A = this chain, B = another copy of it.
Amino acid sequence: MSLVAVGTVAFDDIETPSGRAEKVIGGACTYISLAASYFVKPVRIVSVVGDDFPEETLDYLKKKGVDLEGLQIRKGEKSFFWAGRYHRDLNTRDTLDTQLNVLANFDPKLPASYRSPDYLMLGNLTPSVQLRVLSQLKKRPKLIAMDTMNFWMDTAMPDLRKVMKKVDVLTINDEEARQLSGEHSLVNAAKAIHSMGPKFLIIKKGEHGALLFHKRLMFYAPALPLAEVTDPTGAGDTFAGGFMGWMAKSDDVSFDNLKRGVIYGSAMASFCVEKFSIERMKGLTQGMIQKRVKSFADLVHVAM
- Chain A contacts to B: CB under 8 angstroms: 17, 88-90, 184-188, 205, 208-209, 211, 218-222, 225-229, 256, 259-260, 263, 293, 297, 299-300, 302-304
The verdict on A184 contacting B88 (CB below 8 Å), with A304-B260, A304-B297 known, is: yes
A90 cross-chain contacts in B, Cβ below 8 A:
184
Query: Complex Cα distance A293/B302, Å?
Result: 12
The verdict on A188 contacting B300 (CB below 8 Å), with A208-B208, A220-B222 known, is: no
Residue of B nearest to A295 (CB): B218
Q: A221, A229, A293 — which one has the most chain B CB atoms within 10 A of its CB?
A: A221
Chain B nearest Cβ from A18, distance in angstroms: 10
Q: How many copies does the complex hold?
A: 2
The verdict on A17 contacting B184 (CB below 8 Å), with A297-B304, A300-B219, A304-B263 known, is: yes
A303 cross-chain contacts in B, Cβ below 8 A:
256
Q: A89, A218, A302 — which one has the most chain B CB atoms within 10 A of its CB?
A: A302
A229 cross-chain contacts in B, Cβ below 8 A:
185
Query: Complex Cα distance A219/B84, Å?
Result: 33
Q: Which residue from B89, B187, B302 sits with its C-beta under 8 Å from A226?
A: B187
Query: Complex Cα distance A43/B255, Å?
Result: 43
Residue of B nearest to A299 (CB): B220
Q: List, sorted by A's number, 23 A–B pairs whose CB atoms are closer than 8 Å.
A: A17-B184, A89-B184, A90-B184, A185-B226, A185-B227, A185-B228, A187-B225, A187-B226, A187-B227, A209-B222, A211-B225, A219-B299, A220-B225, A220-B299, A221-B302, A222-B300, A259-B302, A260-B302, A263-B302, A263-B304, A293-B304, A297-B302, A297-B304
A259 cross-chain contacts in B, Cβ below 8 A:
302
